[in-house]
Amino acid sequence: MKPRTLIHYIHSDTSMVTEDVIKIVRRAARSPHSYCLIQAMGCFFPRYFLICIFLLLQRGILGRLVNATIDDQSLSLFYYPEDAWNDSKYPCQKCTAHPDASMAINSTWHDSTFDQDAKISPNEVRRVSTMFNGTAIYVKCILAKTTSSPTGNSDMSFYIDDDLVGQFSHTAPGEPGFEYNVTVYANSSIPPGMHRFTVQNGHVGGSKSLLLFDAFIYSYDDGESDNDISGATTTMSVGTIIGVVVALIVAGVLGITIFLLYRRRRLLLKFGNRHAIREAYRDRRPRVPPSTITPSRTTRAFPSSYHCAPPSTASMSSFVANSCPSMRQGDNWPILDLQRRDHLANTPHNYHTRERGPPDDEEDCDSWSSNGTRLEGSERSVHHEAIER
């Protein structure tokens, strides 16, 4: 499964994400422990957290890289010029380089010497190339330490898709023997896909150069590569699996912590804003100050046919003048007489027990006071005397 396909699945329906990712991870990792971890994380984390895990571990469980070795005897290799290369499987009487076959990969190698004065293809660079589908490649060679018979100096150039990507120069120390399994070129940042890789020995017009080619090793994702190259071997590191599992656990704990902190922050903001809105609304409500006026006694209103005669104008003026001094001074707003208020407050409220109501037809207005209270006995006599006056 290619990375873009996995990301496309992650952006799709959440219910399908977990199942598809588990299938991909299980196929790539082939580890029951990693499968359980990814399954648990897929259930508790959103889709974008899976994207982060994929990008973080694209070279781990989600993109496990496997090494494949292309030996010098592989049919996928192209040697140019063909007659300028020597195969260690066939005895070479005129060759001066004789490494120990037991030290070479699969006990074989190919060698060529660039020389401006060579009898075969003089002043023509030697090349070995192959096609591979992967993201990394390594070149293994044997280096001679001698300066003559053979000349141990080397001058190499490396190309990916006809683009120069590196060079290697070696000056022999002048000692007998060889160096085996030497990595003369390594590149682990190659874009995924099919590539053409070429090693060039020597430069036109350059000095003499010896190349003892042993093998190519390239890395690829076993979940997306279908090539079956002869002589290829796969390896898998147990430490890689352990490291990936630990990374998943750390990522899971970190993700849970971030989620809980984010959820707590949202709750605080939610309830904090609600409380602030409630307080602001309370501050905006109009507040009515407490009344400083003593509520007056409520009296029943009588129909107009039962009202007694109103008091005279002279008596009304006298009452207003005595009870409201401010009116005598021409003020617009009368001030309540404190002494009268105290007198009313100290008066027994026996009016609550008195019967109120309009007079009956048999009764006259003399039985009722001006405030609608029934007069009994002596009170009625006093009331009559007041009216006569």
Instruction: For 9-59, write each residue's pLDDT tens digit.
Output: 444 444 444 455 555 544 544 444 444 445 545 554 554 455 555 555 554
Do residues 180 and 105 make contact, with C-beta atoms less than 8 angstroms apart? no
All structural domains of the chain with their residue ranges: 3-64+240-252, 66-235, 312-354+362-388
Instruction: Answer whether residue 125 shows pLDDT above 80.
Output: yes
- Average pLDDT over every residue of 251-269: 86
Instruction: Answer whether residue 78 shows pLDDT above 50.
Output: yes
Q: Work out the burial of residue 360: count CB atoms within 10 Å of its CB; fewer than 13 is exposed, 13-18 middle, 19 or more buried.
A: exposed
pLDDT of residue 269: 78
Instruction: Answer whether residue 77 shows pLDDT above 80.
Output: yes
Do residues 183 and 240 make contact, with C-beta atoms less than 8 angstroms apart? no
Strands (E), 85-236: 86-87, 110-114, 126-133, 136-144, 154-160, 163-170, 178-187, 194-201, 209-221
Q: How far apart are CA 158 and CA 125, in angstroms?
A: 13
- Token pair of 181, please? 């399994």
> pLDDT confidence of 243, banded at 50, 70, 90?
confident
What SS3 state is found at 269?
helix
Instruction: Answer whether residue 357 shows pLDDT above 80.
Output: no
Instruction: For 311-320, write each residue's pLDDT tens digit.
Output: 554 555 555 4
> pLDDT confidence of 184, banded at 50, 70, 90?
very high
Q: Work out the burial of residue 226: count CB atoms within 10 Å of its CB; fewer than 13 is exposed, 13-18 middle, 19 or more buried.
A: exposed
- Average pLDDT over every residue of 206-230: 79
Q: Work out the burial of residue 306: count CB atoms within 10 Å of its CB; fewer than 13 is exposed, 13-18 middle, 19 or more buried.
A: middle
Q: In this predicted model, which residue has the larger pLDDT, 270 or 274?
A: 270
The structure's pTM equals: 0.46
Q: How far is CA 360 from CA 105, 247, 286, in A?
A: 135, 101, 48
pLDDT of residue 330: 46
Angle between helices 32-44 and 238-284 (to 10 degrees): 10
pLDDT of residue 268: 78
> pLDDT confidence of 262, banded at 50, 70, 90?
confident
Q: How far apart are CA 4 and CA 7, in angstroms?
A: 5
Instruction: Answer whether residue 248 shows pLDDT above 60.
Output: yes
Long-range contacts of 40-43 (CB under 8 A, 24+ apart): 40/252, 41/248, 41/251, 41/252, 41/255, 42/17, 42/18, 43/18
Q: Which of these ranges, 169-183, 187-201, 236-250, 322-336, has the smallest mean pLDDT?
A: 322-336
> pLDDT confidence of 6, banded at 50, 70, 90?
very low
* Residue written as token pair 């060079």: 167
Phi, psi for 275 (deg, rounded to 5)? -65, -40
Q: In this predicted model, which residue has the larger pLDDT, 34 or 386?
A: 386
Count how many Cα atoms sit within 13 Å of the Cα of residue 250 in the half-sphere of its side chain: 8
pLDDT of residue 227: 45
* Residue written as token pair 């120390």: 173
Count how many Cα atoms sit within 13 Å of the Cα of residue 234 in the half-sphere of its side chain: 11
CATH superfamily of 66-235: Galactose-binding domain-like (2.60.120.260)
pLDDT of residue 34: 47
Q: How far apart are CA 22 and CA 16, in angstroms?
A: 10
> pLDDT confidence of 274, banded at 50, 70, 90?
low
Phi, psi for 8 (deg, rounded to 5)? -65, -40
